[in-house]
Amino acid sequence: MGVFIALAWSYFGKLDIQATTQGKLIVSGRTQTIQAFELSRLQQIHVEDGQLVQQGDPLLSVKVLGVDQDILSLHYQKNFHASEQLIHHALIHQQHIEDTPQYMQLSLTEQKRTQLSYQTIKKEYETLLNEITNELQLNRVNYHARERELKDINTLMGNIRKRLNAHNSLSQKQLISQKEFLEQERELLIAKKEKTTKQSELSILDSQHHSLQEKLERIKAQKYQEWHEKAQQAEFKFVSLEQELIKNQERNQLEVIRAPVDGTVQQITTYTLGAVLQPAQQLMVIVPNNHVQLAEVKILNKDIGFIQEGLKADVKIDAFPYTRYGTIEGELLSISRDSTLDENLGLVYLAQIGLTKKQLLVEGKQIELTPGLSIVAEIKTDKRRIIDYLLSPINEYTSTAMREK
């Protein structure tokens, strides 16, 4: 009877097939690394290692380095562009620069520099205009001289014609020789040629005058356009520098680094007040206060073919022997799509198991599970009848014995 019951139990009874994995407890929120944003000096530490903080609590006070020099440089640039704007506005409107309200707002040094720059630009412009104006005046002098010369030639030609008519009458009466008559004709031809030359010179001088006038107007228009553009550029740069200056003045105040999440302060790297902090230097970490909800395990390559999301698991905490304090039930939530190389286990797949409990009863007290505790998780992949376990060695031996070598 006992044998029959044992056989029935072994046939109908089933045991779990489990894949054993190793890992550790983690929190659902990732650890937050606190870093220095830029080159700065540590002024004050507001927390201690292991201290609980809430989101927004002050952690460190730092002073950014190099801001004082940046502010001085920005002030100089801002004043320079204010001066440039003032200079070119005065040139455009043909004002005396010292009569403008903006000029009086400058420091004495800036006033001197602005006045010197204004006078230099104005003098260069006036010199250029004077050169062209002098050329125009010389052109008019030459033009009027040619007009007088042309008038004299016309008078001369009138006299020559009168003499020529008189000589022609005398020549017909043979009172003078033909040679004298021809000499008078030659004088008239020379005078006509001189007249043509003077008329041509007048035309050239008139053309030169128009060209010089156009050049003068063109230079004026170009200079006014140039001054207008420079005034606009200076104004734009001034506004930009003003905003940059405000930002740097805010940076020049003590900067307080605050906690990004609720959690526990750990791994403070420096306690030295006045220490220089490099950009991206790790200062501490904040472990989120989220209760442990997950176990991260490494699934061996040989087991991955039998494991899928949704399988149940028993999680054993190494710090609390399961034979005395029990296990925690869990469910496989996710499996990585690719394997990673573990120095001890070889190729493994990372997986996360959701836990049903966040505490463990130890010596009558509920102990909160903390991140980093090592665990062993047994993932239930299938069930198998007990008799199969008993017959498995016999089947394996028979299969081996009957195989031809």
Same domain, 123 and 243: yes
Same domain, 272 and 344: no
Q: What is the CATH number of the domain that holds 169?
A: 1.10.287
Among 250, 275, 309, the domain-final residue is 250
Same domain, 243 and 270: no
Q: For residue 30, which phi and psi values (nearest 5 degrees)?
A: -80, 150
349 neighbors 297 (Cβ within 8 angstroms): no
330 neighbors 309 (Cβ within 8 angstroms): no
Same domain, 155 and 105: yes
Same domain, 282 and 365: no
Residue 76 lies in a domain: yes
Q: Is the pLDDT of residue 366 over 90?
A: no
312 neighbors 382 (Cβ within 8 angstroms): no
Among 287, 304, 336, the domain-final residue is 287
The proportion of the chain whose per-residue pLDDT surpasses 70, expressed as a percent, equals 82
When pLDDT is averaged across residues 333-345 and rounded to a whole number, the result is 90
Same domain, 385 and 277: no
Tokens 């939530």 label which residue?
A: 333
Helix (H) or strand (E) holding 293: strand 292-300
pLDDT winner (highest mean) among 169-178, 191-200, 226-235, 374-383: 226-235
333 neighbors 354 (Cβ within 8 angstroms): yes
Its pTM stands at: 0.45
Question: What is the model's pLDDT at position 76?
Answer: 83
Q: For residue 325, which phi and psi values (nearest 5 degrees)?
A: -115, 0
CA atoms of 205 and 137, how far apart (whole Å): 11
Q: Please report which confidence band the pLDDT of residue 12 belongs to, taking 50, 70 and 90 as the band edges.
A: very low
When pLDDT is averaged across residues 263-273 and rounded to a whole number, the result is 88
pLDDT digits (tens, 9 = 90+) for 22-41: 999 887 666 788 898 888 88
Same domain, 246 and 268: no
Q: What is the CATH number of the domain that holds 275?
A: 2.40.50.100
Same domain, 320 and 185: no
Residue 238 CA, distance from chain mean position:
20
Question: What is the model's pLDDT at position 297?
Answer: 92
Same domain, 171 and 266: no
Q: Please report which confidence band the pLDDT of residue 318 belongs to, taking 50, 70 and 90 as the band edges.
A: very high
When pLDDT is averaged across residues 67-79 and rounded to a whole number, the result is 82
Residue 209 lies in a domain: yes
Q: What is the CATH number of the domain that holds 383?
A: 2.40.30.170
Q: Which domain holds residue 265?
A: 32-57+259-287
Same domain, 119 and 53: no
Among 68-77, 100-109, 168-177, 375-384, where is mean pLDDT lowest? 168-177
